[in-house]
Amino acid sequence: MQPRDLSAHAVYAAGRGSEEVARELGLDPERIVKLSSNENPFGPSPAAVEAIREAAGSIHTYPKSVHTDLVARIADRWDVTSPQVWLANGGDGALDYLSRAFLDPGDGVLVSEPGFAYYAMTARYHHGEVRTYALEKSDGFAQTPETVLDSYDGERIVYLTSPHNPTGTEADLAAIERIADETGEDTLVVVDEAYGEFSETPSALALVEGREGWDARDDVAVLRTFSKAYGLAGIRLGYALVPDEWAEAYTRVNTPFAASSLACRAGLAALDDREHVERTTETVEWSREYMHAELDAHTYPSAGNFVLVDVEDASAVAEAAKREGVVVRDCSSFGLPECVRVTCGTRESTERAVSVLNEVTG
């Protein structure tokens, strides 16, 4: 007995933790500046940590009621109904729900290259066929309708990422509307806004709901996560916001209790901790500007909590920076062997990263 042939499946290039890197280098983990996974440099909201502590005594019960509370709270935040919130085990889990709900075996899925690896992975897990559209370095990785539509060939799901990982570019609402119009009503356009809190661009939820002068539509869904601005990557909490018309499908695709009760408690507390999110987004803005101004290498404008940087040899630069205790993402795994991606850190860690990167690229 063997699992089905998974050899064509991409493997998630997860970043390594500070402890692992520290062990390898024989350094104190406190001295490692880890800017490779777009995590929150301030850690979790203290209110979320306290909420988890308080909830720990009731983890012998299933999370149904707290799950319902969190869904209602998220629905309230976006002014949608509860069934439009597909709560999941991280944004990745919400992508799985969308795949389950929409893909039949052999259906096409169109993803950007470079782009976030999990779109292709969830497509393959659900027996879809992955095809790509190219974001060109020479165009600054611009996400125009043409970049997508020139490659579109009747796929069932089209993924847009705004802000885009790893390039930092955005898709504006007019571009998304045009893509959704031209791909037609049998194609779902998923707009991944995992980094949405760091951007000034309004959420594509306006297209789903028909707000701010846009026509409402039932072929766009939006992805959000607690992993970035809310600092809860380890608790695994994310969700899709979906059109009212097909919201009921959630009950047929969700893994029962996929978001744990501790995750739900943390999410509720984090949503109320506006101060933590504001401190994070303000510092990210500062850090992006600092990197653009102070890095000697060419940087790309970014709407996310990271900056893409041109280097000659990404693996050599990432390795040299790591030896100095600064961990950045070698973008070879994204098909960009001449770029590294640097997460926006605190003032101190950003300054240290910039100084080390200037040294190793100089």
* Residues that bind ligand PMP in the complex, under the rule CB under 6 A: 38, 90-92, 116, 161, 165, 192, 194, 225, 227, 233, 238
Nearest to ligand PMP of 97, 116 (CB atom): 116
The minimum distance between CB 120 and ligand PMP, in angstroms, equals 12
Nearest to ligand PMP of 165, 350 (CB atom): 165
The minimum distance between CB 164 and ligand PMP, in angstroms, equals 7
What distance lies between CA 150 and its chain's CA centroid? 25
DSSP secondary structure string for all residues of 225-272: ESSSTT--GGG--EEEE--GGGGGGHHHHPPTT-S-HHHHHHHHHHHH
The minimum distance between CB 37 and ligand PMP, in angstroms, equals 7
Asked if 20 and 32 count as a contact pair (C-beta separation under 8 A), the reply is no
Own/partner pairs, 272-276, CB within 8 angstroms, 24+ separation? 272/47, 273/45, 273/46, 273/47, 273/48, 276/42, 276/45, 276/46, 276/47, 276/230, 276/231
Nearest to ligand PMP of 1, 11 (CB atom): 11
The distance between the two most distant Cα atoms of the chain, rounded to a whole number of Å, is 57
Nearest to ligand PMP of 84, 161 (CB atom): 161
Nearest to ligand PMP of 161, 361 (CB atom): 161
The minimum distance between CB 61 and ligand PMP, in angstroms, equals 25
What distance lies between CA 112 and its chain's CA centroid? 14
Nearest to ligand PMP of 238, 267 (CB atom): 238
The minimum distance between CB 224 and ligand PMP, in angstroms, equals 8
